[in-house]
Structure 1
Amino acid sequence: MNEEQASIVIELAREFMHLAQTAYPGSDKGYFRFSSDGSKMGSVASFAVKTEATLVDPFSHQSFFRIMNNKFEALMLSLGNNRLTAVLIIDSEFNYDIKFEYVDLDRWAITKLNGGSGIPQL
């Protein structure tokens, strides 16, 4: 990862941690998943306390999702690929990690449908 890409990742983590502090205080971990197949992109996020997750409402946090999607799109273009799934993980101690997938774009789903917990399988 080059300096520009690292800077974008730090901005993403900062934005996500700000949402955690203001809208989801007391959460242990946060998960933000961005995916693009080249023709469409989208994102979903959740916060967890132990094993119980709450999905972030995209309508209540439209501005947050717009900012995050724009930053992830810039990161994706900087990486030179328009097909990407990435998951950003933060915790209550302000640690963060990011993972990238270029082949299996369905990886790390964040859902509560069909028995999902809202926590991605890392």
Structure 2
Amino acid sequence: MQQEAELVLEAVTEFMRYIRLYVRDWEEAYLRFTVSEESSGIAVTYLAGHEAHFVDSDDEHEIEVMSLLSNCLAELQRKLGFKVALLIVRPSNDFKVLYEHRDSSRWEITKLDGRSGIPEGYLRRSW
């Protein structure tokens, strides 16, 4: 379990650095990693002013960080067998990592169809 804990800390640390580099005055940030036989993917939003926003960057550093996070979380997935992982971080360095082993649509992050951009079904008060 130590190797899994190290992977979690690496992912959380990189995600926290990434958010702090691109975002000011944020309250909470979310990274949703999904994996299936066909593909894997990452979605990231952050909460500021009680509204979720997508990170506005599209540079080489972002691609590098997302690749590192994807590799780290894919390795963690191979060890733990989840379908979805949700990383939640706060500026105070608090973090939470949630795993879903059955429902690959859990905690979807989208603003389509009037949705908020906060992971679906995630309750902020559940800390």
Q: So what's the TM-score if we normalise by structure 2? A: 0.87
Name the Cα RMSD after superposition: 1.4
Residues of 1 paired with 2:103 and 2:55: CA distance? 24
Count matched residues.
119
Residues of 2 paired with 1:20 and 1:45: CA distance? 9
Higher helix share: 2
Report what 1:27 is aligned to.
26
Report what 2:92 is aligned to.
93
* Cα offset, 1:49, TM superposition: 1.1
* Structure 1 segment 1-122 matched on structure 2, within 5 A: 2-57=1-56, 59-60=58-59, 61-79=62-80, 81=81, 84-120=83-119, 121-122=121-122
CA contact (8 A) 1:44 1:56 kept: no
Residues of 2 paired with 1:87 and 1:57: CA distance? 20
- Consecutive unaligned residues of structure 2, counting only runs of 5 or more, are 123-127
Identity %: 28
Residues of 2 paired with 1:20 and 1:35: CA distance? 19
Q: So what's the TM-score if we normalise by structure 1? A: 0.90
CA contact (8 A) 2:22 2:55 kept: no
**Alpha-carbon displacement from aligned partner over 1:72-110 (angstroms, at most 9, x marks no partner):** 00101122x2x5101000001010100000111000011
CA contact (8 A) 1:33 1:109 kept: yes
- Consecutive unaligned residues of structure 1, counting only runs of 5 or more, are none
* Cα offset, 1:25, TM superposition: 2.1
* Cα offset, 1:57, TM superposition: 4.9
Q: SS of the counterpart of 1:12?
A: helix
The amino acid across from 1:65 in the alignment is: M
CA contact (8 A) 1:58 1:65 kept: no
